[in-house]
Amino acid sequence: MSTNDPATGGRRAPDRRDLLAYASLAAAAMVVARPSWAASSEKGVTFFDTAEVYGPYVNEELVGEALEPFRDKVRIATKFGFAIDGTIGRDSRPERIRRVIEGSLKRLRTDHVDLYYQHRVDPNVPIEDVAGTVRDLIAEGKVLHFGLSEASAGNIRRAHAVQPVAAVQTEYSLIERSPERNGVLQVCEELGIGFVPWGPVGQGYLTGKIDEKSHFDPKTDMRSGFPRFSPESLAANRPITAFVQEFAARKGVTPSQIALAWLLAQKPFIVPIPGTRNIKHFVENLGATDVVLTPDDLREIATTLASHPFQGGRMNAEQMEQVEP
């Protein structure tokens, strides 16, 4: 899974095959419902994403129960780093990471995690100490690979110097292009690190199913507090979503498939993890691997998006403070 092959000094150009054993598109476990697990394995999906904080704990339990029969055929990624004390504070102290991995292994019903991400960089713990702790867990066989989520290019470099980073997970999509500008994609390419875009269908924005009349329940749906999901932003961004829908119809595919195919076309080391609770959406999203975007297609998408600046932040202010620029 790691692209940091010691034989080549860790400098080999990364490739999607390094990140996924069999599939070129991953299913995020956060929202995949039970009936789809068997379908996932039949379809060759082998890369599942979860985190201690999802639920909290409940999602890891679901993933553990569901994947137990397929454990040797799948790769499980999970994450540590939130305090889980009623706040959304961060806690990556080494002693806590060592405690958290034990709980994750138990809930996931496994003796190792394939990819262990720090969910958010902790300003109170030097990244070298985090990397060193995961290096120890790797030496103990509890973790196979180290990942970072929403980390800056600088912190990715510092961590990588202590323990090679196998994957970086950060929001990236047609409507969230920060990794192209802040050096994160570039550092992943340079260091041979896989890149895992979360929110690859724009947290639903790019599916053709959301518009200014959509309701996001504040009790159950965090998007209700995200600036880009306000009715005003949804209306202002209508030209972008309308273009994606129109473009998809011209290609004879769906908007979600265009969003995913666009990511797959950006770099060979990119592995998007669309999340869904819906088996039809799951199958539809997998179809993105068959969608071919020509250089003309990619040019048209780039030109159109450049002429319609996107409106609205991707998360609420508190959450944005925790992601590195």
Give the residue numbers marked as catalytic: 54
Binding region for ligand NAP (CB under 6 A) out of 15-23, 65-73, 197-205, 302-310: 197-205
Structural contact between residues 167 and 147, judged by C-beta atoms closer than 8 angstroms: yes
Binding status of residue 30 toward ligand NAP by CB under 6 A: yes
Query: Which position among 64, 81, 192, 202 is part of the footprint of ligand NAP (CB under 6 A)?
Result: 202
Shortest gap between Cβ of 183 and ligand NAP (angstroms)?
Answer: 18
Shortest gap between Cβ of 100 and ligand NAP (angstroms)?
Answer: 16
Query: Which position among 2, 163, 233, 285 is part of the footprint of ligand NAP (CB under 6 A)?
Result: 285
Binding status of residue 78 toward ligand NAP by CB under 6 A: no
> From CA 122, how far away is CA 125, in angstroms rounded?
6
> From CA 146, how far away is CA 132, in angstroms rounded?
10
> From CA 129, how far away is CA 232, in angstroms rounded?
43
What are the start-end ranges of the E strands in 15-150?
27-28, 47-49, 75-80, 113-118, 143-149
Number of Cβ within 10 Å of residue 135's Cβ equals: 16
Q: Give the strand pairing for 113-118 and 194-198.
A: unpaired
Binding region for ligand NAP (CB under 6 A) out of 96-104, 242-250, 267-275, 295-303: 267-275
> From CA 146, how far away is CA 127, in angstroms rounded?
12
Farthest-apart Cα atoms in the chain, separation: 55
Query: Which position among 91, 167, 200, 286 is part of the footprint of ligand NAP (CB under 6 A)?
Result: 200
Query: Which position among 75, 199, 237, 288 is part of the footprint of ligand NAP (CB under 6 A)?
Result: 199
Shortest gap between Cβ of 275 and ligand NAP (angstroms)?
Answer: 3
Shortest gap between Cβ of 217 and ligand NAP (angstroms)?
Answer: 12
Number of Cβ within 10 Å of residue 141's Cβ equals: 9
Query: Which position among 284, 286, 322, 324 is part of the footprint of ligand NAP (CB under 6 A)?
Result: 284
DSSP class per residue in 149-212: ES--HHHHHHHHHHS-EEEEEEE-BTTB-HHHHSSHHHHHHHHT-EEEEESTTGGGGGGT---T
Q: Smaller CB distance to ligand NAP: residue 51 or 131?
A: 51
> From CA 294, how far away is CA 13, in angstroms rounded?
23
Binding region for ligand NAP (CB under 6 A) out of 13-21, 27-35, 133-141, 176-184: 27-35
Query: Which position among 264, 276, 286, 288 is part of the footprint of ligand NAP (CB under 6 A)?
Result: 276
> From CA 251, how far away is CA 298, in angstroms rounded?
13
**Where in 144-163 is the site for ligand NAP (CB under 6 A)?**
149-150
Q: Smaller CB distance to ligand NAP: residue 192 or 208?
A: 208
Q: Using CB under 6 A, list all residues that contact ligand NAP.
A: 28, 30-31, 49, 149-150, 169, 198-204, 207, 209, 256, 273-278, 281, 284-285
